[in-house]
Chains A and B, each alone.
Chain A
Amino acid sequence: MINIPTFTLCSIGPWVTLTGFAILILMLDALSPKGRKAYFPQLSLLGLAIAALQTWRLWGQQGTDFARMVYVDNFALAFFFILILGTALTILISRHYLEDYGKNLGEYYALVLFATVGMMLLASGAHLIMIFLGLEVMSIAVYVLAGFFREDVRSNEAALKYLLLGAFSSAFLLFGIAMLYGATGGSLYLDELSKVLLVHPFSRSLALLAIALLIVGFGFKVAAVPFHMWTPDVYEGAPTSITAFMAVGVKAAAFAAFARVFFLAFPYFMVDWNMLLWVLAVGTMTLGNVVAIAQTNIKRMLAYSSIAHAGYLLVALVAANQLGAVSLLYYLLAYTLMNLGAFGVVILVGRVKDSYLSIYDYSGLGFQHPALAAAMAVFMFALAGIPPTAGFVGKFYIFSAAVQAGYIWLAIIGVMNSLVSVYYYLRITVLMYMRPAEADLGPVAFTPALTAVLLVTALGVMFIGIFPGFFYNLAVNSVKVFPGL
């Protein structure tokens, strides 16, 4: 007889809802006549709103469900909020952009929702296989999305590159999981791993190998150096809205799993993976920031900047203390807002079919479109980590965590990297405010959705920068699930 585990449907509500809405959209897409498909964004937003509501109802729960396969705890739920927020903003910036390309299709929204489901699985997986499943659900959807403009050569290149390298990295991850399976003698539950690994002294070398392989797998998804090679090309080639989605959602989800696995399963190997991640963090920050200086395509610049931000987030992982976990959550929230806002501006300035993607197209923007430029300036200063924005508070937490853990040099390298990043973020403001326009930019189509995104993100970046207390306490509440920290 097959033993079916008991579960509460409620605890997996957000996934069920999003999957349901994604399937619904696919069905409707097939059934509804051409030209009547304009309501998909609204439908997906409705799904996300319901999922958010369900997440909110679950808030405060402690424990696992579905045969201990998923965690239902505040850490996962906090990430759900961040992911849902990121997805909702992505959908809001997508519609107008897709219409430009004549690609406002149902499957786009369905895929975005599927990817979100995968991300949420990643953030809450309690079993390594679950985490792998989440990773794949997310990745496959994003591979397709990256190549969504199928007539566009760059988009094709992006999809193919991402698929090939992504599959490769998934294999690494899976291989690492297999090693652990051997090392522990058959258990892949995160909460058991640490104990089992402790009592099996002979498994140490296997576990170390597994850790290294897992770092490769996760490092690929978060775009850490030296696993970052795909990032600039994929980010540049993918549709801008998907670039934003990848830079924010994929990264956040991968970091959630990264943190969960390493904090819960390998506390006894902290010395080993700390050293490795230290090197990765320094390399990621430095390469991302230094190479970003040389970019003249705004999407490439933001791609390298996202690599650099992955480096800062790795610093939080290296710190491996409570504050580090808090800063991870806080920074990802801030990063979601500021990066999606910046991509919103990129879409607006790029206008019809991304015709203006060079950073020099921002020349004189400050005086032709003051509101747009002001929003971009806010995002740039936030990404550079200048107060009173959320970006500053986030960096402040991250470097606090590093200092608290005794990694002063890491903090110093980190702040020096911020200094480098100031240069290229400032260059955008220089172009916007201090250079004459190269050509008349003409009118910019402020659709209500994009205006809303810019307003929400810009005000949000300022608000959680000036009043970080609420979110800080929320994050502190969420990371209590890691007793070892």
Chain B
Amino acid sequence: MQLPILSILVFFPLAGIVFLLFLDRKNHKMLKLATLGISLLEFLFSLPLWFKFDNQTGAMQFVEHHHWLPSYGISYYVGIDGFSLLLVLLTTFLTPICVLATWEDIQHRVKEFMICLLALMSGMLGVFVALDLFLFYVFWEVMLIPMYLLIGVWGNPARRVYAAIKFFLFTMFGSLLMLVAILVLYFHCGKVTGTYTFDLLKMYAVPVPFYMQFWMFLAFGLAFAIKVPMFPFHTWLPDAHTEAPTVGSVILAAVLLKMGTYGFLRFNMPLFPQAAYYFVPLFSILALIGIVYGALVSMMQKDLKRLIAFSSVSHLGFVMLGLFTFTMAGLQGGIIQMINHGLSTGALFLIVGMIYERRHTRMIADFGGLSTPMPIFAAIFMIVALSSIGLPGLNGFVGEFLILLGAFKANMIYSTVAATGVIFAACYMLWMFQRVMFGKVTNDKNRDLKDLSWREIVIFAPLLLFIVWIGVHPNTFLDKTRATSESFLAMMEKSKAPPPKVALFQAFKGEAR
């Protein structure tokens, strides 16, 4: 019998929480070490996924299927394909790093923090592996609570509550409409096929009339677009990022935002393919606005965290653009860009966290000439910033290049506009880097800053490794998703038909009583 790796991954952090409950709340070191151990174990558990994953098939692997509420067609159904594989690994890979990053940062209510972190991890993994819509929805919402607490309890005292509530309400808004759409889909599929089920793969196969696809695509799309976040639903992001503790920002940027893009891939497009093609212009243009607008707004930020937050809007715009090209290059680029953004932006938030720990400010104007007292830090910062810009040889380039390639095939204008985003990215990133790191040390407080400690270097080492690895040999990762992408595109291609000219405002008929 095969080990239920995915279930272990999802529930092991919860077991870890139980373990943490028995530890002394005063002994911070112990708590952090225990959480680090748990998250490292979790990472080890996730490695077999990588090695045993079959590259040749686009089907679901490591599948587990158990009844949960059979009379309602709800089951505990998990499995991964190439898309989720990378995201699951990204999650398990980043969590130990996050725990290490809390070492100095989190000094009060450590136990509760670690519990939230582990609960969050469990929820995020659940979202990426769930293949049952009900199960997915449960994880999707459950994960809000620990994140809300992370921002609200450990955030910046001034505005953390505002940011936490805004984060919660924005996400809830989208997800609740999605819930209604899930129900409509469930009853539609039940009516058509005769079996009522929340099984996602079975739902893929059910034809949905276009007018229903239209509305349900919008309902699902809203939930995911808020999460991504796409312009104009991005306003919660800068607040949440700015007020969250460093680790919160890292997880938010690296993993949580990916749930939105992942949602489009896993749910929106395959469930409502006709509507997906229909909405290509709308979503592409929103993505383009996000790219350019995010980059322009980034340029004007005075706060480092806000700057990176807006750069996320821009980067995620690239991902969305790539996904909506429905070409191999765009799709693969979009997926690899999700990972890239997780690594680079995660690293950037860690960097900001580290200088914040030293100086207790994030204002660009307070810095200048940091490279003199902190040479190692400067080097790492440089590499990460360049990877975020998309310098060839580093990871960002691969993703952006593939996306632009795909977009070029689909629509030359999109590609051209998107390319300006890369230029702007170079502007805001390098300008920021210059103002923070180069020049003379103008502020006396900056003169004696300590360079990175060994712990901090250890945090960055694995991130840098992958930043270079993906940049130099992206095929290691692209191979994993190729088969999945191919079958995804084939599935999309099959249902590519011009939308029939029917009224979009037909009412959904309830079932006969």
- Closest B residue, CB atoms, query A470: B69
A419–B183 CB distance below 8 A? no
In-complex Cβ contact of B176 among A407, A416, A468 (8 A): A416
Q: Is A476 positioned at the interface, with any CB of B under 8 Å from its CB?
A: yes
Residues of B within 8 A of A396 (CB): 134, 179
Give chain A interface residues in 18-64, CB to chain B under 8 Å. Answer: none
Partner of B180, one of A381, A387, A399, A433: A399
Report the separation of the CA atoms of residues A389 and B68 in the bound assembly, to the nearest whole angstrom.
15
On chain B, the residues within 8 Å of A426 by CB distance are 148, 165, 168
Of all chain B residues, the one with the shortest Cβ separation from A430 is B161
Residue of B with least CB distance to A384 = B172
Q: Are A469 and B179 in contact (CB under 8 A)?
A: no
Tell me whether A469 and B169 are in contact (CB under 8 A): no
B144 contacts the other chain (Cβ, under 8 Å)?
yes
Q: Is B454 an interface residue (CB 8 A)?
A: no
Given A422-B168, A469-B70: A403 and B176 interface contact (C-beta under 8 Å) = no
A381-404 vs B, CB cutoff 8 Å, 1 = contact: the mask equals 100001110001000100110011
User: Judging by beta carbons under 8 Å apart, are A408 and B72 in contact?
Assistant: no
What distance in Å separates the Cβ of A272 from its nearest Cβ neighbour in chain B? Answer: 15
Question: B168-179, CB under 8 A of A: which get 1 and which 0?
Answer: 110011001101
Inter-chain CA distance A240–B508, complex, in Å, is 44
> Distance (Å) between the CB of B221 and the closest chain A CB?
16
Could you tell me if A403 and B68 are in contact, using CB atoms closer than 8 angstroms?
Answer: no
- Tell me the A454-481 residues at the B interface (CB within 8 Å): 468-469, 472-473, 476
B109 at the interface (CB under 8 A from A): yes
In the complex, A387→B141 CA distance in Å? 6
User: Does B507 lie at the interface of the complex (its beta carbon under 8 Å from any beta carbon of A)?
Assistant: yes
Q: Is the CB of A408 within 8 A of B141?
A: no
0/1 string, B416-448, CB within 8 A of A gives 1: 000000000000000000000000000000000
Cross-chain contact A433 with B513 (CB below 8 angstroms)? no
Q: How far is the CB of A354 from chain B (nearest CB, A)?
A: 27
B510 to chain A, nearest CB (A): 2
Asked whether B482 is an interface residue with its Cβ less than 8 Å from the other chain, the reply is no
Q: How far is the CB of A334 from chain B (nearest CB, A)?
A: 15
Q: Which residues of B contact A407 (CB under 8 A)?
A: 510
In the assembled complex, how far is the CB of residue A362 from the closest CB belonging to chain B, in whole angstroms? 14
Q: List, in ascending order, chain A residues with CB within 8 A of B187's CB.
A: 400, 403-404
Taking CB atoms and an 8 Å cut-off, the chain A residues in 239-285 that contact chain B are none
Q: Would you list which residues of chain A between 430 and 448 have a CB under 8 Å from chain B?
A: 430, 433-435
Q: How far is the CA of A392 from the CA of B140 in the complex (A)?
A: 13
Whether B386 is near chain A, meaning CB under 8 Å from some CB there, is no
Are A408 and B164 interface neighbours, CB within 8 A?
no
Evaluate contact between A387 and B138: CB separation under 8 angstroms. yes
Smallest Cβ-Cβ distance to A395: which chain B residue? B179
Residues of B within 8 A of A403 (CB): 180, 183-184, 186-187, 508, 510
CB distance from A313 to the nearest CB of B (A): 18
Taking a contact as CB atoms under 8 Å apart, the answer to whether B144 and A412 are in contact is no
A396 to B68, CA, bound (A): 15
Distance of A416 Cα from B169 Cα, bound (Å): 11
Q: Are A476 and B71 in contact (CB under 8 A)?
A: yes
- The answer to the question of A406 belonging to the interface, with a C-beta cut-off of 8 Å to chain B, is yes
Contact residues, B160-214 vs A (CB, 8 A): 160-161, 164-165, 168-169, 172-173, 176-177, 179-180, 183-184, 186-187
A426 to B186, CA, bound (A): 30
Is B142 in contact with A388, judged by CB distance below 8 angstroms?
A: yes
Residues of B within 8 A of A (CB): 68-72, 109, 134, 137-138, 141-142, 144-145, 148-149, 152-153, 160-161, 164-165, 168-169, 172-173, 176-177, 179-180, 183-184, 186-187, 507-511, 513
| Listed A/B pairs (27) with beta-carbon separation below 8 Å | A321-B511, A386-B145, A387-B141, A388-B142, A396-B134, A399-B179, A400-B186, A403-B186, A403-B508, A403-B510, A406-B507, A406-B511, A408-B180, A411-B180, A411-B183, A412-B177, A416-B176, A419-B172, A422-B172, A423-B165, A423-B169, A426-B148, A433-B149, A433-B152, A434-B152, A469-B68, A472-B69
Further pairs besides A399-B180, A400-B183, A419-B172: 4, Cβ < 8 Å: A399-B183, A403-B508, A426-B165, A469-B70
Q: Report the 7 A-B pairs with minimum CB-CB distance, sorted nearest first.
A: A406-B510, A415-B176, A403-B183, A387-B138, A405-B510, A434-B152, A469-B69
